[in-house]
Amino acid sequence: MLTSLSIGNVPFSKKNVFCFDSESFRYLVARQNNIRFDSNEKQEYEMSWKTSVSESKRLIDYMHKDVTVYRIDNSLQSMKHAQFTILGMVRPILETMRNVRRDLLLKMFYPSEASIELHPKVLDHPITVCLLCKGDVKKIGNFLFAIDIPHNMKKKCRTCSCSLNRHITLEYLLEYTFVRSAPTHNEREILAQLLRASAEFSYFLIHIARASEDDLFLSGLLQMIKHEANLANNQNMNDMNSELVAALNELQVGYVNRMNEMKSNKELNNLSFIYKRINDISEYPIIREQLAAIKAGRMRIMMENEYEVPKRN
């Protein structure tokens, strides 16, 4: 019977099945809450606890001696994995769309070729920044850029008095360079593709995966508009940032229209289609570099916190 329950090359046998009695955990919680037991109840819980301890040791021994590294197939698809991947793409997509709009504005106002390059910076650990606090501002290619300043977070922000919901976590920083050369990509084509992908991914998260009630792409876009508006009003108005606000507002209208179109798109129910769109968008160089920075930062955290259990003889 146990053999019939095996999954692929993973056997289902007494050797690799471990049973933990839930009573032992309930006992631990009860003791922490000063709940008392009579002698019979205490004896039952002690037996349960010993069983769980024994199984824990057996599990660790099994992992030391019999478990080999299992390589996850890169072609593996799941709703949760797609959801997790898309959540990591929200900021890279929005930052890319904003910068494409910058490049289009430079093309309008500069007689010669010019563009803004994004340079993702890998972080040793995620940082928290406040959306309300004003940091340093610098000018690059006639655009104003706010410099992200990390805030010290515990249960509340130790750097400012703003509420926690006005803070966001960043997994990478962006640096910007003004160059006297045209972008290597077709700006309008990539903008159209990213706008459509944003709507597809957002619809998938909200209506298919049921992962969020909020439209993360729209809220992120609105925050960008507010951010650029604040910069435009800085230092006696900045025309380029004002133009960028107008361009982002147009982008917002386009996004809402795309979201309305998604209701009739039956392909969004197909997980393979979602993965194809994820792969397509991830191949854009500007997106790929930001995703690589996120991955590298997460890998650093894993390496710092990794602990190798010594093997037993």
Q: List the structure tokens of 73.
A: 């197939």
Q: What's the DSSP call for residue 106? A: H
Sign of the Cα torsion 123, 280, 89, 91 reads positive
Alpha helix ranges (H) inside 36-162: 39-65, 79-109
Residue 103 has a pLDDT of 94
Q: List the structure tokens of 57.
A: 């040791």
| % the chain with pLDDT above 70 | 90
Burial of 206 (0-12, 13-18, 19+ CB in 10 A): middle
What is the rounded distance in angstroms from the CA atom of residue 220 to the CA atom of residue 199?
13
What is the rounded distance in angstroms from the CA atom of residue 134 to the CA atom of residue 206?
32
Residue 235 has a pLDDT of 60
Rg (Cα) of the chain, in Å, rounded? 26
- Max mean pLDDT range (62-66, 136-140, 257-261): 257-261
* Domain boundaries along the sequence of the chain: 3-65, 79-304
Tens digit of each residue's pLDDT (9 = 90 or more) over 275-310 = 999 999 999 999 999 999 999 999 998 888 776 656
Tens digit of each residue's pLDDT (9 = 90 or more) over 215-231 = 999 999 999 999 999 88
Tens digit of each residue's pLDDT (9 = 90 or more) over 89-132 = 999 999 999 999 999 999 888 777 899 999 999 999 899 999 88
Residue 74 has a pLDDT of 59
| Whether the predicted pLDDT of 176 surpasses 90 | yes
Residue 276 has a pLDDT of 95
* Beta carbons of 89 and 281 less than 8 angstroms apart: yes
Residue 70 has a pLDDT of 59
Assign 9 a pLDDT band (cuts: 50, 70, 90).
Answer: low
What is the rounded distance in angstroms from the CA atom of residue 7 to the CA atom of residue 188?
48
